[in-house]
């Protein structure tokens, strides 16, 4: 199935939706305008059911095929939220909200799924039911988890679920996908160190938390280099180091360091949490101070199901022709929560030459719209062929 002529005809319309969302970005669960726009469009398209407020501000719509002899129900998911970034694109439709920007292409994902929903509601050329899912708070808020906890999968009897993300510098019309673990689990930690502050000229009278914390930062690097299998995927990064004093002649009483852990397996995830706590406690004790660790588990490893991945790959071959084996990604993706509940697959679609996601000069490439829409439609029409 090549790119559908209908999506080529719709490209200007879908682009206009995308640019409107780009101009009016909303962060985390505050996607009130975007969610309302999506719900209005879905109702306008003639979807059989439109429900708002799933996962706080998520939107779910149902489109029934011409027939339903198969009883199949497929979910298609797009994310809607922006990032807290000051845009630097200089585009005529750049963000009008200071400090907020669609720097990851979620405006494009939402627009493409809206385009596919309009086409599917028009044609109904499939046997079964499609549930289109528009999710808030992918960027760190766990909106996918909240939609699942709201009972979305059971409420609409979703049997399989598919997601898509753009990939900068992958050529337009190309796709990338892999089976099994794909995006990493994303955890974060805060470590609070306390010693005995004092005058920097009399360090013998103190328990120096700066030295303690510096040693801890270095020691944490041994988790990846000495505790994990060298061929496994694990990242332990300390990203912030804050003391309770900023004076040049004061040894601070307290230091707070924070960071992130990225893993591709449950075993490494458990090991990293355990070792951070052990190393922090031992380092604090070695210097005569104390260390407390607050470890927070974020998104789980996102795992593509084997059967659904191969099917998604076949559809992509039909649309774009060139489908590469995607690399492992140490970034997180909360579509993982949906894939924990149902089999499915997540694919990357080429954005062409562009700045990387989460960069202030990034912009979604509107030329990818017919490709993405065609893939969504292909998933439905080929997984649930008309009877």
Q: Look up the CATH architecture of domain 185-299.
A: 2-Layer Sandwich (3.30)
List the structure tokens of 158. 């979703």
Q: Within 10 Å of residue 286's Cβ, how many Cβ atoms?
A: 12
List the structure tokens of 278. 């052990």
Tell me what pLDDT residue 2 has: 61
107 neighbors 32 (Cβ within 8 angstroms): no
The span from the CA of 308 to the CA of 275, in Å, is 36
196 neighbors 206 (Cβ within 8 angstroms): yes
- For the chain, residues classed under CATH 3.30.70.360 are 185-299
Which residue numbers in the chain have pLDDT < 50?
A: 1
Residue 158, burial from CB neighbour count under 10 angstroms (0-12, 13-18, 19+):
buried
DSSP class per residue in 46-103 = T-SEEEEEETTTEEEEEEE-SB-SS--EEEEEEE--BBS-------TT--SSTT-B--
Pick the CATH number of 5-183+302-383 from 3.40.630.10, 2.60.40.10, 3.90.1150.10, 3.50.50.60: 3.40.630.10
Tell me what pLDDT residue 387 has: 86
The span from the CA of 83 to the CA of 146, in Å, is 19
Tell me the per-residue pLDDT of 314-361, one tens digit each, with 9 for 90 and over.
999 999 779 999 999 999 999 999 999 999 999 999 999 999 999 999
| Diameter of the chain measured on Cα atoms | 84
- For the chain, residues classed under CATH 3.40.630.10 are 5-183+302-383
Nearest to 148 by CA among 354, 347, 334: 334
Residue-averaged pLDDT of the chain: 97
Tell me what pLDDT residue 320 has: 79
Tell me what pLDDT residue 4 has: 76
Q: Within 10 Å of residue 175's Cβ, how many Cβ atoms?
A: 26
Our CA angle for 382, 132, 385, nearest 5°, is 15
All residues at 6 or more sequence positions from 223 whose CB lies less than 8 Å from its CB, including other chains:
234, 236, 271, 272, 275, 276, 279
């Amino acid at each position: 199935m090549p790119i559908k002529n209908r999506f080529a005809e719709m490209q200007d319309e879908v682009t206009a939706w995308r640019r409107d969302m780009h101009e009016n970005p909303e962060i985390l669960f505050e996607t009130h305008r975007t969610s309302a726009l999506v719900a209005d469009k879905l109702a306008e398209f003639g979807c059989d059911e439109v429900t708002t407020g799933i996962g706080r501000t998520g939107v779910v719509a149902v489109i029934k095929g011409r027939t339903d002899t198969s009883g199949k129900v497929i979910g298609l998911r797009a994310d809607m939220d922006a990032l807290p970034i000051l845009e630097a694109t200089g585009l005529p439709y750049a963000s009008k909200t200071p400090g907020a920007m669609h720097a990851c292409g979620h405006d494009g994902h939402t627009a493409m799924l809206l385009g596919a929903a309009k086409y599917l509601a028009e044609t109904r050329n499939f046997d079964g039911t499609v549930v289109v899912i528009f999710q808030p708070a992918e960027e760190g808020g766990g909106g996918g988890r909240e939609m699942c906890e709201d009972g979305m999968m059971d409420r609409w009897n979703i049997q399989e679920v598919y997601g898509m993300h753009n990939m900068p510098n992958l050529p337009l019309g190309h796709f990338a996908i892999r089976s099994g673990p794909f995006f990493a689990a994303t955890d974060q930690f805060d470590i609070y160190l306390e010693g005995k502050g004092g005058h920097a000229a009399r360090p013998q009278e103190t328990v120096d938390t700066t030295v303690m914390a510096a040693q801890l930062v270095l020691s944490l690097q041994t988790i990846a280099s000495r505790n994990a299998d060298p061929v496994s995927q694990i990242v332990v990064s300390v990203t912030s180091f804050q003391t309770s004093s900023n004076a040049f002649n004061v040894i601070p009483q307290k230091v707070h360091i924070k960071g992130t852990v990225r893993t591709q397996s449950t075993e490494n995830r458990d090991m990293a949490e355990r070792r951070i706590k052990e190393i922090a406690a031992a380092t604090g004790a070695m210097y005569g101070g104390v260390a407390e660790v607050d470890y927070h588990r974020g998104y789980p490893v996102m795992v593509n199901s084997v059967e659904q991945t191969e099917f998604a790959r076949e559809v992509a071959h039909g649309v774009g022709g060139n489908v590469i084996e995607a690399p492992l990604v140490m970034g997180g993706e909360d579509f993982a929560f949906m894939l924990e509940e149902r089999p499915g697959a997540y694919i990357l679609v080429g954005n062409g030459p562009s700045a990387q996601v989460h960069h202030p000069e990034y912009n979604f490439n509107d030329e990818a719209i017919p490709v993405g829409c065609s893939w969504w439609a292909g998933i439905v029409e080929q997984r649930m062929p008309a009877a």
